[in-house]
Amino acid sequence: MIFIYIILFFIVFSYILKKLIPYILRYILKKNFEKFTKRAGQNNPFHKPPKKEEKKKEQVGEYIDYEEID
């Protein structure tokens, strides 16, 4: 009799698991995607965090390009 209960348990468990797998996978993939985008934003070499206090450089003079004379 216990053998029948074990088999019945596995059948019911597999049925419930088949119904829940899409939701579980969707949750896991969503969490992993959020982690990936968070890490990608932090490690991006082109992304510069905004500076709060940015000092303006004073213009000292004009730049003069000197050419070499042979």
Give, for all 70 residues of the chain, the pLDDT tens digit.
Answer: 999 999 999 999 999 999 999 999 999 999 999 988 888 777 666 656 566 665 666 777 777 777 777 6
Q: Check: CB of residue 35 under 8 Å from CB of residue 42.
A: no
Q: Is the pTM of this model over 0.95?
A: no
Distance between CA atoms of 12 and 18, rounded to whole angstroms? Answer: 10
DSSP state at residue 45: T
Per-domain residue ranges for the chain? 1-37
Q: Which residue has the tokens 């009799």?
A: 1
**DSSP 3-state of 65:** coil
Q: How many residues does the chain have?
A: 70
CA contacts within 13 A on the Cβ side of 3: 0
